[in-house]
């Protein structure tokens, strides 16, 4: 499961606060684990171990209020052109401060810096991802993350999360082909544009 985000995590920030958005470091592992595993205990997210976080810490971005962790999220690479935004969590105390939106925007910016063509996510809060440029897609056309990341999820056989996608490099994509699902409900991932072959 991707995230603990709720509607108010995407609220516009209220009174100005000096929040710090930065890449996570090793000392952030303990508070990130406390945040994620707190939601995991409620069945909202998958639990993480210290070992897993140590391996994945470079994927994470955090939002801090001085020394207090307000939220975290990760950008995980799957192919040279695709990444996933995952492990989004916002502390209960920060749910109305726009921390969720700040995290998603920071992770999308990072994906653009790495020249990714698109990022995807699995979520229950589709409308809020739509506010930051994502579209619902048929989950079957995304990379086969289920075989790597979802096998230990208790909902693996009956997953009800929704796949969303944001295309970052429109010029690298051909026109979408006709979708085999309702056009008003999903979009289809476009076919990568073949490189031009110079004339002989």
Higher pLDDT, 17 or 19: 19
Residue 2 placed within a domain: no
Structure tokens at 66: 């001085």
pLDDT band at 93 (very low <50, low <70, confident <90, very high): confident
Residue 185 placed within a domain: no
pLDDT band at 8 (very low <50, low <70, confident <90, very high): very low
Residue 46 placed within a domain: yes
Residue 189 placed within a domain: no
Residue 1 placed within a domain: no
Residue 179 placed within a domain: no
CB neighbourhood size of 158 (10 A): 6
Distance CA 176, CA 57 (A): 35
SS3 94: helix
What is the three-state SS of 101-115? HHHHHHHHHHHHHCC
CATH number at residue 70: 3.40.630.30
Which structural domain range is residue 51 located in?
7-172
Higher pLDDT, 143 or 11: 143
Give the sheet arrangement for strand 20-23, strand by strand: 20-23, 60-65, 68-77, 82-90, 118-123, 162-167, 135-136
Query: Is pLDDT at 79 greater than 70 in this prediction?
Result: yes
Tens digits of residue pLDDT in 155-188: 555 566 788 999 999 887 654 443 333 444 444 4
Do 117 and 166 form a contact (C-beta atoms < 8 A)? Answer: no
Residue 180 placed within a domain: no
Give bridge partners of residue 96 from the DSSP assignment. Answer: none
Report the pLDDT value the prediction gives residue 174, as an integer from 0 to 100. 55
Residue 47 placed within a domain: yes
Domain count, the chain: 1
Tens digits of residue pLDDT in 115-127: 999 999 988 788 8
User: What percentage of the chain exceeds 70 in pLDDT?
Assistant: 67
């Amino acid at each position: 499961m991707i995230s603990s985000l709720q509607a108010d995590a995407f609220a516009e920030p209220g009174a100005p606060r000096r929040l710090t958005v930065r890449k996570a470091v090793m000392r952030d592992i303990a508070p990130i684990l406390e945040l994620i595993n707190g939601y995991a205990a409620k069945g909202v997210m998958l639990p993480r171990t210290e070992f897993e976080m140590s391996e994945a810490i470079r994927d994470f971005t955090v939002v801090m209020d001085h020394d207090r962790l307000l939220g975290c999220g990760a950008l995980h690479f799957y192919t040279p052109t695709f990444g996933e935004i995952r492990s989004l969590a916002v502390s209960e105390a920060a749910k109305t401060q726009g921390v969720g939106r700040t995290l998603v925007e920071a992770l999308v910016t990072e994906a653009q810096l790495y020249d990714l063509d698109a990022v995807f996510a699995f979520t229950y809060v589709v409308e809020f991802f739509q506010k930051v440029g994502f579209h619902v897609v048929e989950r079957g056309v995304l990379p086969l993350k289920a075989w790597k990341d979802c096998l230990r999820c208790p909902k693996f056989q009956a997953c009800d999360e929704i796949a969303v996608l944001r295309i970052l490099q429109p010029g690298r994509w051909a026109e979408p082909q006709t979708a085999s699902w309702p056009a008003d409900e999903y979009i289809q991932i476009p076919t990568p544009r073949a490189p031009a072959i110079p004339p002989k």
